[in-house]
Structure 1
């Protein structure tokens, strides 16, 4: 059996402003750095293979909570939001000509103009997942987490998801004989003593 625990990176200035980050390499803000420095990965997950997206906000989150450098894999980079990157979601929602819709209503095939669809993201993630062995933690992005959790739960990006992604929690997927199962409760990071 392989286990893959997913953790969302800490806050950035753009997160707090409601801007769509995508692949723009925005660093963690100072509050996030301080919060993450006071947390750690609980046992036995602290012994898992540690992975991260190539973007600094994920890489730095991994290093802060684990006290070691992660392995970086390009498949874990955030989704490409295309022409919507850097814009505010609330502004796009009010512009009838933008074509914007919340990701919960994309289906597997919709994408922002010049961006990626969930299907495209899944196609780049599954080969990476198929090579994993043992316990793994991937510090990544909400777009990546949505795709992997959708794959594990059968959610089709059509209506509210059967999971709620929160920060500072490991969302654990068990993979056995090709079958994926999301553990019911995420594992919380622990205070660092």
Structure 2
């Protein structure tokens, strides 16, 4: 592995710009930095979810399916920081789809809208899902000004789907009821 940080602060970003891995500099509010930040937020929240899942042996399969996602999100961050770099492969999307299909077969059809909640792990899976959608939107905004190649957009889309289904399978395996949406009554 190449470059390692030896200094945590350099003062180079004090004026509001930051360096990309290819050596170029952009404003800290550039769409590329927004996308990198959104992917990083998702990765951090996913770490919290994985810590929560580790406390419950019934959720080992869910943890095993989600743990590689942290690494793939870091790969995606690398792709965003180095525009010519490609790490994500279609097989990663297929892996997510396989888990979605397995868990959906166990769950059966969704008959109502559900709300985040029921347990901490379920709620955290939904937090991750919303952050995946946010990261996807930030990457889409970047794509509008600097076209993205590779698998990043489809990966984030499928990951948000996986996290939705993960929230449902966690509730089922924990034996907690999903929080069903109840429409307001006039």
TM-score by length of 1: 0.27
Q: Please, what TM-score do these two structures have when normalized by structure 2?
A: 0.28
Q: Which has the higher strand share?
A: 1
Greater RCO (Cα-Cα under 8 Å, separation 6 or more) = 1
Query: For the pair shown, which has the larger CA radius of gyration, 1 or 2?
Result: 2
